Structure 1
Amino acid sequence: MDFDLKGKHAVVTGGARGIGRAIVLALIEQGVSVTACHRTPTPESESLQEELDARRAAARVLRADVADEGDARRLLETAHDAFGPVDVLVNNAGVISHMPLREMPAAEWDRVVGTNLTGIYQVTRASLDHLARPASIVNVTSAVAKHGMPNAAHYVSSKAGVIGLTRALCKELGRDAIRVNAITCGIVGATGQKSPQGEAGERRYAEMTSLGRLGVPAEIADVVLFLASDAARYVTGAVLDVDGGI
């Protein structure tokens, strides 16, 4: 499907693997110039750059910690210098860990909330002088923001905060022709993160959905393309559930 995005420029955080990688590749297929970032070098980040080079894509893969103000600012400045104003910002970077609240040190709370919520604040704030007009911001969050999950209070809280931030920013930035929406993802397979309960846990999660299966990263990427495009030109402040009907 052609979303008429050719010639646009997108920034995607957490773009090296899983959902982020699928978003990067989907945007490239649409003719979008892409600046993607990752926090630490990995085989996935190296292979992404190699794949983009092989496709002769207008794309760069940078190292940046989204929770760091300086890194966020440099990411947007570098992206703007390379490809011009940013038409689409996809805040996808995220981390998770599993532990009960009683055992959770403050440093782990800060790490998860810092990446998942503060990271979106830092990158979005840094983007304001570099966004095109109009522009689309898409925040990737999780279905657990609505449903909850044990032994992950930091993760659930951060993802719920993304919904609140999305709704606040859509009202603040709308008059500047900047749309802000969120996607609540369900359990997505092949993301590089496994269920802590293993294959049995993944089967149980699949049975929780109306469709009876896990999602795949490309199904999240397709919704990002929609929200990035003029097909969603009157959609802002929306929180779209892409979870198979949990």
Structure 2
Amino acid sequence: MDLSLTGKKALVTGGTRGIGKGIVLALARQGVDVITCYRQDGDQAGALERELKEIGGQHHVLRADLADPAQAVGLLQECADRFGRLDLVVNNAAAVSHVAYDQMTLEEWQRIVSTNVTAAFLVIQHALPLLGAGGSVVSISSKTVEIGIPMLSHYTTTKAALHGLNRTLARELGGRDIRFNVLSLGMIHTEAVDAMPEEQRAASLKRYSEKTALGRWGRPEEVAGAVLWLASDLSRYVTGAVIAVDGGIA
């Protein structure tokens, strides 16, 4: 289906693996020029660059640790220098760890908040001069906001913060015809799942598949489908929404 996205410019944070990579590749295949970033050197960035080269287009895979405010702001300057504008921003980069609340250090709390919330604040703020009428900002959240999961108090708090931020910005900036929406994800099968020990992976896949209406985990490309919709004119009257992409998980 032609979504008329050819030639649009997008920034996807944290796009060299997992859900982010699925979003980057889906956008590129629709003719969108994409800038994405990664925090640590590794094989993923090079692999993505090769895939994007095969697809074609003006794509850039840049290193930026978004927990560092200067690097977050620098990433948006790169978008300005390379593209001159943005039509879509996807806040996907996130950090997570499993820590009991009574054992969590302030340092770890601040690390998660800096990466998941402060970085999104800076990315959006510095993207605003590049976003024109019809611009779309999508933030990736989690169903953990609704149910709460032990050992994830810091992560869940940051995802809930994205809901409030996007709902407020939808109201504040709607007059500029810029839309802000959240995708609330259920269980998505990425390479991180495949990296689990076999027994743990099998148990986890079975347990959460049984909790979904569709009886399975989602795939990164299915999250990307929702992003494509929110990037297109098909969703021009959708803003301030939290959209579940969760297979009907209970």
Provide the TM-score with structure 2 as the length reference.
0.94
1:215 — aligned with what? 218
Partner amino acid for 1:217?
A: P
- Structure 1 residues 193-202 or 75-84, which shifts more? 193-202
2:127 — aligned with what? 127
The answer to whether the 8 A contact 2:91-2:140 is kept is: yes
1:18 — aligned with what? 18
The answer to whether the 8 A contact 2:29-2:55 is kept is: no
Instruction: State the distance in 2 between where 1:180 and 1:12 align.
Output: 15
- Structure 1 residues 199-208 or 161-170, which shifts more? 199-208
- The reply to whether residue 158 of structure 1 matches residue 158 of structure 2 is yes
1:240 — aligned with what? 243
Aligned residue for 1:129, secondary structure, equals: helix
Partner amino acid for 2:153?
A: A
Partner amino acid for 1:88?
A: L
Deviations 1:166-211 (A, max 9, x none): 1011111111111000000101002425679533123211111111
Partner amino acid for 2:166?
A: T
Partner amino acid for 2:216?
A: R
Instruction: State the distance in 2 between where 1:126 and 1:230 align.
Output: 23
The answer to whether the 8 A contact 1:206-1:213 is kept is: yes
The answer to whether the 8 A contact 2:132-2:176 is kept is: no
Instruction: State the distance in 2 between where 1:47 and 1:41 align.
Output: 12
Instruction: State the distance in 2 between where 1:3 and 1:121 align.
Output: 28
2:184 — aligned with what? 184
Provide the TM-score with structure 1 as the length reference.
0.95
Matches within 5 A, 1:192-231: 192-193=192-193, 197-231=200-234
In structure 1, list runs of 5 or more residues that go unmatched: none
1:111 — aligned with what? 111
2:38 — aligned with what? 38
Partner amino acid for 1:116?
A: N
Instruction: State the distance in 1 between where 2:111 and 2:170 align.
Output: 26
Instruction: State the distance in 2 between where 1:4 and 1:56 align.
Output: 17
Partner amino acid for 2:63?
A: R
1:68 — aligned with what? 68
Deviations 1:95-139 (A, max 9, x none): 111121122111111111211111111111111122232200000
1:98 — aligned with what? 98
Instruction: State the distance in 2 between where 1:110 and 1:42 align.
Output: 25
2:52 — aligned with what? 52
Q: Percent of counterpart pairs with the same letter?
A: 45
Query: CA 1:148 to 1:99, structure 2 compared with 1: closer, same or farther past 3 Å?
Result: same
Deviations 1:11-60 (A, max 9, x none): 00010001100100000011011011111112111211122123333100
Aligned residue for 2:112, secondary structure, equals: helix
The answer to whether the 8 A contact 1:195-1:202 is kept is: no
The answer to whether the 8 A contact 2:39-2:63 is kept is: yes
Q: Return the offset for 1:165.
A: 0.9
**RMSD (CA atoms):** 1.5
